[in-house]
Amino acid sequence: MLNTLLIEDNPDAAEKIQFLLRKYCADRITLMAHASSGQEGVEAIEKHRPELVFLDIELGDMTAFEMLERIDPIDFQVIFTTAHDHYAIKAIRYSAVDYLQKPIGREELLAAITRAEHNPARMLREQVNQIAQHAQPKAILPEKIALTTSEGLVFKQIKDIIRCESDRMYTIVIMVGGEKLMVSKPMGQLEEILDGQGFFRVHMSHLINMHHIRQFVRADGGYVVMEDGATVSVARNRKDDFLELFSKF
């Protein structure tokens, strides 16, 4: 059971999140309190010392990042909530935290809590600063990504990812040097995170780093040979887009 706080200034949103938590997560989290402002959130965290905090990004008196700057140490996990798509959500996902976009659905909520349950890492001050820095419309993409595995978080250089293979709700990430990581995120979510970093989904089950392609072979419908020696088919409906993108590398 995770001792949990909700910090949300919108009464309707707070009511819905509390309803979802009590209906679907009563056996997994203990909702200790609800704070309706950043200042109340700071006081509630100091009082209750939670393990998990649901935190609205735009509070009435301050932003979530300004609120977190007032807390030391940050020894709890954070799930951001937001109704605004102008925030760089992928920058938040790069970190050891998670996010939910309003209106929040049951499946998204349960998946976020599952990741919190299996993530032994705690949120560090450096991560807060990085998230705040990148939660802007024109954010610079981070060089590292936090990959959630069964053993916890593994931080890797994005440029060292050769390719990703879908395994239902999980993704196998293959690194330079042959290391393979089973990541508890579906392929689609990793594709979104890595957007703009030179990755291309050549097939429903394969996401490749264009910087690690060794060869493209037109035979057998078309496939690529990666630097680790793997051959990956290029789907027919993706081939034209792939060849156009490939010409840029």
Q: Are 14 and 65 in contact (CB under 8 A)?
A: no
Q: Are 135 and 88 in contact (CB under 8 A)?
A: yes
Tell me what pLDDT residue 88 has.
47
Per-residue pLDDT of the chain (249 residues; tens, 9 = 90+): 899 999 999 999 999 999 999 999 999 999 999 999 999 999 999 999 999 999 998 888 888 888 888 888 778 888 888 876 555 455 455 454 677 888 888 888 988 888 888 765 455 555 565 555 555 544 445 688 888 888 878 889 999 999 999 998 899 999 999 999 999 888 888 888 888 888 999 999 999 999 999 999 988 888 999 999 999 999 988 888 888 876 555
Tell me what pLDDT residue 82 has.
81
Tell me what pLDDT residue 122 has.
52
In the chain, residues under CATH classification 3.40.50.2300 are 2-134
Tell me what pLDDT residue 137 has.
47
The answer to whether the predicted template modeling score (pTM) of the entire model surpasses 0.75 is no
CA distance 65 to 43: 15
Query: Given this structure, which CATH class describes domain 156-246?
Result: mainly beta
CA distance 132 to 204: 33
Tell me what pLDDT residue 8 has.
95
Query: Given this structure, which CATH class describes domain 2-134?
Result: alpha beta
